[in-house]
């Protein structure tokens, strides 16, 4: 029998770890599952979920643009200022001689006997 030094054991253990890395095992497992057809339904479902989320966010953005445009048309305003924060007093004082209106809009839930519904409330002063 030959004596094995600890450095030889350590280097052989490290080579063994490199050969069986978790990433290679995961890739090997994934390819095997794809070949067998077990991973396709999960992949398709994941793609459909991501596509649905993207489509809904694009639809919501487009609907918001349409609502804002219709609001501007309904107001027949020359200029529309939109802000999430209240306007400063100096800006309001500078517009006192002009005819102006203030519109507040927010979304909330409306409840009735039949159920509940998400609504958009708009108040014009």
Whether residue 83 is contained in a domain is answered as yes
What are the residues facing 110 on neighbouring strands? 117
* Residue 58 maps to a domain: yes
13 & 59 share domain: no
Segments forming the whole domain that contains residue 16: 8-38
> Is residue 14 located within the same domain as residue 48?
no
Does one domain contain both 105 and 88? yes
Q: Evaluate whether residue 116 is within a structural domain.
A: yes
* 1 occurs within a structural domain: no
Q: What average pLDDT does this structure show over 106-120?
A: 86
Q: What is the pLDDT of residue 56?
A: 94
**How far, CA to CA in Å, does 48 sit from each of 21, 43, 53, 55?**
31, 9, 9, 10
In a domain, residue 63? The reply is yes
Q: Is the pLDDT of residue 9 over 60?
A: no
Shared domain for 66 and 27, answered yes or no, is: no
Residues 43 and 31 in one domain: no
Distances (CA, A) of 99 to 2, 18, 52, 120: 101, 76, 44, 26
Please write the tens of the pLDDT for every residue from 29-42: 888 887 887 777 88
**Number of domains comprising the chain:** 2
21-31: average pLDDT: 84
Q: Say if 71 falls within a structural domain.
A: yes
User: Does 33 lie in the same domain as 74?
Assistant: no
In a domain, 3, yes or no: no
For residues 100 and 80, give the distance between their C-alpha atoms in angstroms, rounded to a whole number. 10
What would the two tokens of residue 49 be? Answer: 């979920």
């Amino acid at each position: 029998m030959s004596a094995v030094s600890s450095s030889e054991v350590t280097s052989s253990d490290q080579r063994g770890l490199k050969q069986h890395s978790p990433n290679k095992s995961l890739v090997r497992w994934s390819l095997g599952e794809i070949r067998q057809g077990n991973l396709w339904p999960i992949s398709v479902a994941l793609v459909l979920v991501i596509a649905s989320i993207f489509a809904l966010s694009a639809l919501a953005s487009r609907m918001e643009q349409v609502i804002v445009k219709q609001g501007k048309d309904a107001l027949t305003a020359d200029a529309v200022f939109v802000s999430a924060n209240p306007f400063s007093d100096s800006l309001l004082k500078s517009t006192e001689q002009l005819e102006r209106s203030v519109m507040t809009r927010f979304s909330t839930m409306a409840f009735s006997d039949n159920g509940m519904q998400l609504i958009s409330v708009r108040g014009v002063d």
